[in-house]
Structure 1
Amino acid sequence: MQNLLRAVWIYRHFIFSSIRNDLRMRFARSKLGGLWMILQPLAQVAIYAVVLSRIMGSRLPGVDNRYAYVIYLIAGMVAWSLFVETVTRCLTIFVDNGNLLKKIVFPRISLPLIVAGSALVSNLLLLIAAVGVFLIAGHMPTMSMAWLLVLIPVNLAFSIGLGLTLGILNVFVRDIGQVMVVVLQLWFWMTPIVYMPTILPEQFQSLIRLNPMYYIASGFQDVLLYGKAPQLDHLGYIAVGSALLLGLSMFLFRRANAEMVDVL
Structure 2
Amino acid sequence: MNKTINDLWQARQFIKSSIRNEFVTRVVRSRLGLVWIVIYPLAQVAIYAFVLSALMTAKLPGLQTAYAYPIYLTSGIMAWTLFSEVVGRCLNVFIENSNLLKKMAFPRLALPAIVTGSAMLNNTLLFLSVLLIFAILGHTPTLSLLWLPILTLLLLMLALGLGLALGLLNVFFRDVGQLVSIALQFGFWLTPIVYTLDLFPPTYQKMLHINPMTGIVQGYQAVLVFGRTPDWQILIYPALFAIMALSLAVFLYSRAIDEVVDVL
Runs of 4+, deviation exceeding 3 Å? none
State the percentage of identical aligned residues.
Answer: 48
Displacement, 1:21? 1.0
Deviates more, 1:166-175 or 1:95-104: 95-104
Of residues 33-42 and 202-211 in structure 1, the stretch that sits farther from structure 2 once superposed is 202-211
How do residues 73-222 of structure 1 correspond to structure 2 at under 5 angstroms? Answer: 73-222=73-222
- 2:158 corresponds to which letter in structure 1? F
SS of 2:34's equivalent?
Answer: helix
Per-residue deviation, 1:233: 1.8
CA-atom RMSD in angstroms:
1.0
Name the SS for the 2:55 alignment partner: helix
Size of the aligned set, in residue pairs, is 264
Amino acid at match of 2:116: A
Distance 2:256 2:33 in 1: 37
State TM-score, norm by structure 2.
0.97
Shift of 1:22: 1.4
Tell me how far apart the structure 2 counterparts of residues 84 and 196 of structure 1 sit (CA, whole Å). 20
Give 1:11 shift: 0.7
Please list every run of 5 or more consecutive structure 1 residues that lacks an aligned counterpart in the other structure.
none
By how many angstroms is 1:203 displaced? 3.2
Which moved further from structure 2: 238-247 or 55-64?
238-247
SS at match of 2:66: coil
CA displacement at 1:214 relative to structure 2: 0.4
1:19 aligned partner: 19
Deviation at residue 67 of structure 1 after TM alignment: 0.6
Post-superposition Cα deviations, 1:27-64, rounded to whole Å, max 9, x if no partner, equal 43201112211111001101111111001011112211
Deviation at 1:122, TM superposition (A): 0.6
Amino acid at match of 2:59: R
The DSSP-based 3-state class of the residue aligned with 1:124 is helix
| Alpha-carbon distance in 1 for matches of 2:62, 2:27 | 41
Gaps of 5+ in 2: none
Note closer, same or farther for the CA distance 1:206–1:240 as it changes in structure 2 (3 Å cut): closer
Normalised by the length of structure 1, the TM-score is: 0.97
Report what 1:237 is aligned to.
Answer: 237
Q: Give me the whole-angstrom Cα distance separating, in 1, the residues matched to 2:44 and 2:78.
A: 12
TM superposition shift of 1:143: 0.1
For 1:200 and 1:27, the matched residues in 2 are separated by: 42
Matches of 1:167 and 1:196, distance apart in 2: 32
